Amino acid sequence: MKDIEKLQDGQKGIVFKVTADDGTQKVIKLQQENPSRAVVGTALLMQAGVNTAAILPVKDEKLGQLQQDVQAYLDANEGSDVDLSAAQQLTQALAAVSNPAASPPFGNVVEMDFVRGRDLQKAVQEPDFKQLLTNPSFQRQLGQIMAADAFTGNPDRFAARADTGANPGDSVKGWYNQNNLIIEGRGDDVQLKAIDNDFRPGANVDSENVFGGAAHGGQWGSVAAANSQQFKREVFAVIERLETEANVRLSPQEIKDFITQATEGAQETMDTLLAADITPERVDQMLDVAGEAGRSKRECVQNFSKHVQMIQLLRDDLQKSLAVKPTVAEMAGIASAKGPLTMEKVLEGLGVSKEDAAEIAQSREKLDRFNKLMQGEKGAHVPKDFKITTREAAAMAKDESTYKQFTQKVGGPKV
Ligand SMILES: Nc1ncnc2c1ncn2[C@@H]1O[C@H](COP(=O)(O)OP(=O)(O)O)[C@@H](O)[C@H]1O
Ligand SMILES: [Mg+2]
């Protein structure tokens, strides 16, 4: 070993960076939690094509070997002016791993590839943060990571969170963990890397609220990335959050481009993951190998099964909406209808059932507002050529807060 450095200390875990004699750099993390979910989450992110750090539990002989290596490093540098405090702390922490009474009780060790770059906490303070935010490659990769996190139910990176107050679902707010995304490089070479991955599927299997949330000390992830309409709302909320944190403003066009790129990236990753046929049985096996067992494993597999159904449902919904188009024959049928064309008649001509037609007629009032929105009644921050489709308008009409997001942004743009 050439060097041992401490990256983070605290009640949640201790993180060290270790440089081997050949120069390779690894991260050693001691933590309370069983790392099995991080291992499975990371494997699925890799399957999704997301850039992330390989992670391995360090146990048994591997743990013994690591202890010996650290001791050898300490012995070799004894009496020199090398600062050995990190190495000493690592030795003590490793010795306490198998002691159940140790405080803090860090009974698990993992080894990860060291990820080079800056996290969002640093990036938002940089003068060229706006360049990063408006970089299509950043935007696309962000969408990809958000989709992979939606698939794995990771609650700890990016999400729009539904308001858990008096009116759940009434508004969504952007949220992110500034330390769990590492950014390497700039411009076309920018690379986003996911660290601190998790696998917490099934906390959100309610189609009424696809967003993430936090309450009573816990937090849950978002599945919005499965559906492009919902994901647009999520990205919009995240952009607003980033703008606030960094004190920068994107122009309406820049916001639109960001949403487009991120949504395309997310769709691509969702497709990859859904095509990979990751079954509950497979997840069961992965958890097994990673060291999750018993009831906790059973529940996780059951939750994943519901979770993935939810994702497919959101996805199917989207496919359906793309498929809805009147055929030539249907159009001819509508045209030949006698008498004034009521909305009900048009819908009937399109083969919509009476009940559905009645429901649509009822939501007419909401749709009217969106017709106005489509005709230009937009907030100052929305680009003039920002067109939404009828389908999008209908989806948005269901939700007051989205309408407000597009119409009531205070202050207007500062570009
Ligand atoms: N693989 C890694 N490469 C580089 N830095 C890392 C890596 N893992 C962790 N870190 C650093 O240590 C910090 C804490 O690690 P993390 O796994 O996020 O733990 P926590 O559960 O405490 O959030 C990270 O925010 C990052 O700065
Ligand atoms: Mg973290």
What residue segments make up the domains of the chain, in order of their start? 3-114, 119-322, 323-407
Please tell me which residue, 387 or 300, carries the higher pLDDT value: 300
Statement: residue 412 has pLDDT above 60: no
Tell me which of 1.20.120, 1.10.760, 1.10.10, 1.10.1070 is the CATH number of domain 119-322.
1.10.1070
The first and second tokens of residue 386, run together, are: 């920002």
The answer to whether the beta carbons of residues 157 and 193 sit under 8 Å apart is no
What's the average model confidence in pLDDT over 171-186?
95
Instruction: Report the nearest-CA residue for atom 19 of ligand 1.
Output: 196
Q: What pLDDT is stored for residue 149 in this prediction?
A: 98
Mean pLDDT of the chain: 86
- Ligand 1 pocket check for 112: Cβ under 6 Å: yes
Residue 104 pLDDT? 84
Q: What are 14-31's pLDDT values in tens digits?
A: 999 999 999 999 999 999
Q: Report which ligand 1 atom has the smallest distance to the Cα of 156.
A: 23
Angle between helices 294-323 and 280-290 (to 10 degrees): 140
* CA 411 – ligand 2 centroid, Å: 34
For ligand 1, say whether the CB of 51 is within 6 Å of any of its atoms.
no
Q: What is the pLDDT of residue 344?
A: 72
Q: Tell me how far apart the alpha carbons of residues 371 and 375 are, in angstroms, rounded to a whole number.
A: 6
Residues 158, 237 contacting (CB under 8 angstroms): no
Asked if residue 183 has its Cβ within 6 Å of ligand 1, the reply is no
Q: How far is the CA of 347 from the centre of ligand 1 (A)?
A: 55
C-alpha–C-alpha distance, residues 333 and 327, integer Å = 10
Query: How close is the Cα of 114 to the center of ligand 1, in Å?
Result: 9
The residues pairing with 174 across neighbouring beta strands, listed in sequence order, are: 160
Which range among 154-158, 186-190, 303-307, 391-395 shows the weakest confidence by mean pLDDT? Answer: 391-395
